[in-house]
Amino acid sequence: MDGGKAFPELGGAVAPPPGVPGLDIDPFSEAFFADPYPDHARLRDTAPFVWLIKYGIGAIARYEDVRKVLLDWETFSSARGVGMADFAKHGRFRLPSIILESDPPQHTRSRAVLNKTLSFLVMKSLRETFAAEADRMIDELVEKREFDGCAELAEAFPLRVFPDAIGMNREGRDNLLPYGDMVFNSFGPPNQRFLASATRAEAAFTWVETQAQRENLSPDGFGQICYQAADKGEVTHKEAAMLVRAILTAGVDTTVNGIGAVLFALARFPGEWRKLRENRSLARPAFEEAIRFESPVQTFFRTVTRPTTLDGHPLAEGDKILMFLGAANRDPLKWENPDTFDIERPVAGHVGFGVGIHACVGQLLARLEGEVVLDAMARKIGTIEVTGEPERRFNNTLRGLKKLPLRVTAV
């Protein structure tokens, strides 16, 4: 199979290999983003392995298959990029990440350092500050009554707590969101959406590299843990900077869209909001269920390293495979009533944070942020209602909103 000659802007449609059903779905189009669920169902229902004609790329959307590919890192590599572009054929748009875009043994070294940097103990040290900030922010919003759940909460909260926690200085933090938007767009095809975001974020590129340097991080932020590991020889100091860059890249848009997802879901499912108010210990499960339900990170690619098969179809070295995490998280073969937001369901095993060696290394941080926001809301807010049309933010990888007009009442 030739998964390579495939960018639409560079060549047009590619017929499927014999026996693989071809679909005319474009998972990087606004029509798809506006309502991906009918197409997710077509992707899952047609066959375990389907072909996206527009891009000339094989895809999987069923839970079992997505899980299997995520777990088999030796056959399905990340080192040639986890986006559509194959570093070996199409070049790279930034210096490859030594955690996301790497395989063992490099990945193992990087991961060990990030595991320490984002450990349970580090999260424990952040909890009090994060919770106090969530309380303060929710008090202010309750006072205000009407606000934009995106700008004033889902974006504001991570931007408030995360840069401080890692130890960034104050200047230029407004680069973080455009930078993330660009990187997450870069995992899709080189479409207009990506090009526009790259133009918007041009200056953010060097800014992020600079922010990741040791001398620009405060001594008590958790970013220093990467450099302390370098002092001990676990990685080089240059690698430590790359790992801090990774945290800066991966840590904002993801949690913004995770918090956005749970706000939007709770506003649409008042019964679930009631359950949360009555039982605050559901804050963490509610956030987790929102990650399953919305899957803020919708898709990733892998590159085949050696001859193998998917659903009996031969794959060759160099083939790219697209995995639909969002579709897997709503696969009816795995989930009961998958399209229902249910904060009491058994949600373990969802692939919203991935699974296997590349499973989200920041998931404890994400959950901490989600939990303290929901806990503060459950204590302070009586009712939540959507007062206007929510607006989606379109991104080649991320699913989320840019506007969510809300009205809340105090308890």
Binding residue for ligand 4IA, selected from 100, 261, 343, 366, defined by CB under 6 A:
100
CA distance 236 to 318: 30
Please provide the DSSP assignment of 91-143 as one string: --SSSPPTTTT--TTHHHHHHHHHHHHT-HHHHHHHHHHHHHHHHHHHHHHHH
Indicate the residue among 273 and 394 with the shorter CB distance to ligand 4IA. 394
CA distance 401 to 261: 8
Q: Does 254 bind ligand 4IA (CB under 6 A)?
A: yes
Cβ of residue 270: shortest distance to ligand 4IA, in angstroms?
31
Which tokens is 167 given?
């130890």
Stretch that binds ligand 4IA, among 35-43, 245-253, 313-321, 380-388 (CB under 6 A): 245-253
Stretch that binds ligand 4IA, among 128-136, 208-216, 246-254, 366-374 (CB under 6 A): 246-254
Q: Does 84 bind ligand 4IA (CB under 6 A)?
A: no
Stretch that binds ligand 4IA, among 97-105, 124-132, 148-156, 372-380 (CB under 6 A): 97-105
Q: Does 99 bind ligand 4IA (CB under 6 A)?
A: yes
CA distance 372 to 82: 31
Residue 240 near residue 109 (C-beta atoms within 8 A): no
Q: Does 250 bind ligand 4IA (CB under 6 A)?
A: yes
Stretch that binds ligand 4IA, among 92-100, 149-157, 314-322, 383-391 (CB under 6 A): 92-100
Stretch that binds ligand 4IA, among 8-16, 55-63, 94-102, 319-327 (CB under 6 A): 94-102
Tell which residue, 214, 208, 222, has the closest CA to residue 240: 214
> Coil, strand or helix: which one is 311?
coil
Indicate the residue among 100 and 165 with the shorter CB distance to ligand 4IA. 100
Q: Is the peptide bond before 105 cis (omega within 30 degrees of 0)?
A: yes
What single-letter DSSP state applies at residue 168? Answer: B
Q: How far is CA 207 from CA 172, 249, 307, 383, in A?
A: 8, 12, 41, 41
**Positions of E strands within 124-187:** 146-148
Residue 338 near residue 316 (C-beta atoms within 8 A): no
**Residues in 142-201 at the binding interface with ligand 4IA, rule: CB under 6 A:** 183
Q: Does 249 bind ligand 4IA (CB under 6 A)?
A: yes
Q: Does 378 bind ligand 4IA (CB under 6 A)?
A: no
| Site of interaction with ligand 4IA (CB under 6 A) | 97, 99-100, 183, 246, 249-250, 254, 297
